[in-house]
């Protein structure tokens, strides 16, 4: 099939769902989500819910980060230190949010790479955390999963540079 | 033609509300069969099948030789293992009874008090001695969380679709779907619908994370 011009590129959503392999991303995230049910929940939020183009984009980006990891020798301890992990809040409706115990997703945001960009506790740092963890779960959890993989990638690169 | 007692539709409506459509249907079919045999079940189907399609399907199952409901919750219990909370959308009493009886004590259970029928929820919940807590459409999200599960009863799964109560569709919007670890359905009517499935809505079977056949 000849490539379509960019403005006519839309494909049927079935074409998107057909290339997504959730088990591949589940395997990729296993070191950070050892519980199989937690893993299935987070991966469903990223690849099984929300608009089709987000599901597909999440899959492509996460899988490519996984490919990068495959090319880097693993550290002695996997996963790499994450700093102090930050919870990803579950957004309940306002009338329930105050009354019930705060809920969070099982995957937490590594603080370690963000601390390379801004001091922990600073306003820019807090703003970065807010940007990465806000919005619908298919965004927030994918952001966090990507930062998690980037943390591992950066740690392996740094270790490789030192030896 | 076999004569049926007066007021069956009214009494079935009450039973369907407080037992669930499938359980009430089995109760009525078994009792009519005991009194009037297959001819009675046929008459019951003719009288109430159109307004109550689940009763129609259960009567058809009976006439085809089925004689018992399979309420074994083992596979479902294995899937909810480790859950902190289970919110049940819809009521099928015989199924809920066995499930609640075998639910681990550290798994809280709630029932969404929403039905197409008039239901005395206090009376329904009193059967569970405080083990099942009431929630409504405004409050059930307080049970959301990474260790929480939503469960409903399905009424026939055919091809890629399943029939569920309207409450399930109202409860499981895009916001809620990502706030519960699993979205499960327990199919209590493993038979095709013969008449229009009124009181129910069709959903994509793939929208459940788990689907259990009775």
ipTM metric = 0.76
Contacts of B138 in chain A (CB under 8 A): 95
Q: Tens digit of pLDDT per residue, chain A (163 long)?
A: 677 777 777 777 788 888 999 999 999 999 999 999 999 999 999 999 988 889 999 999 999 999 999 999 887 776 777 889 999 999 888 788 777 788 999 999 999 999 999 999 999 999 999 999 998 999 999 999 999 999 999 999 988 754 4
Q: Determine, yes or no, domain membership for A57.
A: yes
E strands in B31-189 = 85-89, 108-112, 132-135, 145-158, 161-164, 180-187
Alpha helices in B49-120 (DSSP H): 53-63, 74-80, 93-102
Q: Does residue B209 sit at the A interface (CB-CB below 8 Å)?
A: yes
Give tens-digit pLDDT for B54-92: 999 999 999 999 999 999 999 999 999 999 999 999 999
Is pTM, for the whole model, over 0.90?
no
CA separation (Å) from A14 to A10, B183, B209? 12, 22, 19
Contacts of A93 in chain B (CB under 8 A): 141
Which of A52, A88, A91, A92 to mutate to probe the B interface, most B CBs <10 Å? Answer: A92
Residue-range definition of the domain harbouring residue A102:
6-160
The answer to whether the beta carbons of residues B77 and B99 sit under 8 Å apart is yes
**Torsion on CA atoms B16, B22, B25, B30, rounded to nearest 10:** -130
For residues A145 and A32, what is the distance between their CA atoms, to the nearest angstrom?
A: 9
For residues A80 and B57, what is the distance between their CA atoms, to the nearest angstrom?
A: 57
Cis peptide bond prior to B43, omega within 30° of 0 = no
How many structural domains compose chain A?
1
Q: Determine, yes or no, domain membership for A1.
A: no
For residues A146 and A83, what is the distance between their CA atoms, to the nearest angstrom?
A: 16
Q: Does residue A99 sit at the B interface (CB-CB below 8 Å)?
A: yes
């Amino acid at each position: 099939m000849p490539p379509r011009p960019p403005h006519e590129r839309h494909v049927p959503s079935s074409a998107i769902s057909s290339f997504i392999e959730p088990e591949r991303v589940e395997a990729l995230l296993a070191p950070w989500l050892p519980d199989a049910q937690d893993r299935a929940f987070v991966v469903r939020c990223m690849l099984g819910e929300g608009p089709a183009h987000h599901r597909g984009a999440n899959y492509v980006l996460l899988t490519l980060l996984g490919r990068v990891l495959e090319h880097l020798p693993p550290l002695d301890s996997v996963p790499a230190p994450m700093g102090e992990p930050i919870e990803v809040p579950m957004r309940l409706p306002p009338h329930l949010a105050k009354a019930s115990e705060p809920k969070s997703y099982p995957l937490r945001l590594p603080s370690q790479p963000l601390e390379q960009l801004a001091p922990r506790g600073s306003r820019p740092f807090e703003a970065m955390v807010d940007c990465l963890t806000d919005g619908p779960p298919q965004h927030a959890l994918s952001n966090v999963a990507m930062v998690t993989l980037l943390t591992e990638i950066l740690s392996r690169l740094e270790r490789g540079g030192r030896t | 033609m076999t004569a049926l007692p007066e007021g069956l539709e009214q009494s079935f409506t009450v039973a369907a509300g407080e037992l669930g459509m499938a359980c009430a249907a089995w109760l009525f079919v078994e009792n009519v069969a005991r009194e009037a045999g297959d001819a009675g079940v046929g008459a019951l189907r003719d009288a109430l099948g159109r307004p109550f399609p689940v009763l129609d399907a259960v009567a058809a199952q009976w006439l085809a030789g089925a004689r018992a409901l399979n309420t074994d919750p083992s596979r479902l219990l294995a899937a909810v293992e480790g859950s902190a909370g289970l919110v049940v959308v819809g009521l099928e009493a015989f199924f809920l009874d066995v499930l609640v009886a075998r639910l681990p004590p550290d798994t809280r259970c709630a029932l969404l008090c929403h039905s197409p029928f008039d239901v005395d929820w206090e009376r329904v919940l009193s059967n569970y001695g405080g083990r099942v807590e009431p929630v409504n459409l405004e409050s059930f999200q307080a049970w959301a969380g990474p260790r929480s599960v939503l469960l409903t009863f399905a009424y026939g799964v055919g091809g890629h679709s399943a029939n569920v109560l309207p409450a399930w569709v109202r409860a499981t919007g895009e916001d809620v779907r990502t706030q519960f670890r699993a979205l499960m359905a327990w199919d209590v009517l493993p038979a095709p619908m013969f008449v229009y499935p009124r009181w129910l809505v069709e959903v994509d079977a793939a929208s459940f994370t788990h689907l259990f056949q009775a």
